[in-house]
Amino acid sequence: MRTPKDRQRSHRTKISVNMIDVTIIIVNWNTKDLLHNCLKSIDEQAGAIEYEVIVIDNASTDGSAAMVRSQFPNARVISNDTNRGFAAANNQGMAIAQGRYVLLLNSDTIVLNNAIEKTVDFADTTHDTAVIGCRVLNPDRSLQPTCFMYPSILNMILSSSYLYKLFPNNRFFGRERMTWWGRSDVREVDVVTGCFMLVRREAIKQAGMMDEDFFMYGEETDWCYRFKKTGWKNIFMPDAEIIHLGGQSSRKIAVEMSLQLRGSILYFIGKHKSRLEYVLACFLVWLFFVVRIPIWFLKYLLSIKKRKYNYQRMMICVKGVCRITVGGGKSLCTQINW
């Protein structure tokens, strides 16, 4: 007797004869070893689905592209001459994708227990869903909270206050990051975190691909917002799991990436909210940096062991104040040296 899952797989086979179920797109920048482990986990844990892998290499200098070509010959590699950013690189992959779904997967992830098959199976039963995210774990298998609310003035104030750290179970203080939620149930969310995003091709055709003005950070927020505006749902599904190391590329340029993160939030608000909200958001970020300059300067003077770290944090704030003062919010994410 066939189980419900057997019947579901049979149905999927019928609707995908000579068709790839999912195109897995991985954007890479100098994470050769992590990328190897990610691709290996896909081969071992994708499950009983038809898939293709496209690696977009953003001008890595560590031999990442050559490694993929030699050790994973079934993966397709596109090597860029410059670092085009996360959104533009994913758009390159989507432009040639053949799958019914597109999975955006970070290079610093490990796929667990047929996670991709489980997500595709879930997507096949939820036809009004544009994006599906899964349960994300830290390397020690503790929960890494993913999914969050859209940026807003209220959420920016609460996030900057760090009250969500003091009261993680409070639904008001923890509203932006949903700190009160254990990620143990299926739930409609505003934003699915970009380390693992299974996206329906029909939704992409309707809402468009990623906005390439988001160089890094914020692109998934904008994308999920546009999907929701066109009538689709964004869903978290806990049955599939991955390990996510987190920030392996951005750590190499931590100062600039911290500015990039806040600049992307301001760009999102400027794109989707009123002019008044944008001006107020710029002021809040400017104020966030201003009040922290003397704090980090004092820590820099008093600490010897962490002097370099404290100096870097201080310079993030100094650069943030200068850039917003001179060029507004978008200047935080247009002056990056790679």
Shared domain for 254 and 219, answered yes or no, is no
Relative orientation angle of helices 254-272 and 307-327, to the nearest 10 degrees? 30
Domain boundary at 199, 227, 244, which? 244
> Within a domain: residue 157?
no
Question: Hey, which bits of the chain come out as E strands?
Answer: 20-28, 51-58, 76-80, 99-105, 109-112, 129-137, 187-188, 196-200, 233-244
Q: How many domains does the chain have?
A: 2
Provide the 10 A C-beta neighbour count for residue 281.
23
How far apart, in Å, do the first and last CA atoms of the chain sit? 58
In this structure, the answer to whether residues 24 and 38 fall within a common structural domain is yes
Q: Which residues pair with 131 in a beta bridge?
A: 199, 234
Residues 143 and 290 in one domain: no
Q: Which residues on neighbouring strands pair with residue 56, listed in sequence order?
A: 27, 78
- Give, to the nearest 10 degrees, the angle between helix 275-302 and helix 307-327: 150
Residue 254 in contact with residue 312, Cβ under 8 Å? yes
Q: Are 75 and 143 in contact (CB under 8 A)?
A: no
Q: Kindly report the length of the chain.
A: 338
Q: Note whether residue 158 is domain-resident.
A: no
Q: Which of 225, 324, 328 is nearest to 275 (CA)?
A: 328
Per-residue confidence of the chain (338 residues) as pLDDT tens digits? 323 344 344 334 434 445 899 999 999 999 999 999 999 999 999 889 999 999 999 999 999 999 999 999 999 999 999 999 899 999 999 999 999 999 999 999 999 999 999 999 999 999 999 999 999 999 999 999 999 999 999 999 998 888 899 999 999 999 999 999 999 999 999 999 999 999 999 999 999 999 998 877 789 999 999 999 999 999 999 999 999 997 554 454 455 677 888 888 999 999 999 999 999 999 999 999 999 999 999 999 998 889 998 998 898 899 889 888 887 666 665 433 32
Same structural domain, 224 and 257 = no
Same domain as 131, residue 268: no
Q: Residue 68 in contact with residue 39, Cβ under 8 Å?
A: yes
Q: For residue 92, tell me if it sits in a domain.
A: yes
Q: Structure pTM?
A: 0.87
Domain annotation covers residue 236 = yes
- Identify whether the C-beta of residue 64 lies closer than 8 Å to the C-beta of residue 39: no
Instruction: Give the torsion sign (CA, 308, 310, 314, 316).
Output: positive
Q: Provide the residue range defining the domain that includes 292.
A: 250-333
Q: Are residues 310 and 189 in the same domain?
A: no
Centroid of chain to Cα 228? 17
227 within some domain: yes
Do 231 and 260 fall within a single domain? no
Q: Do 24 and 70 lie in a common domain?
A: yes
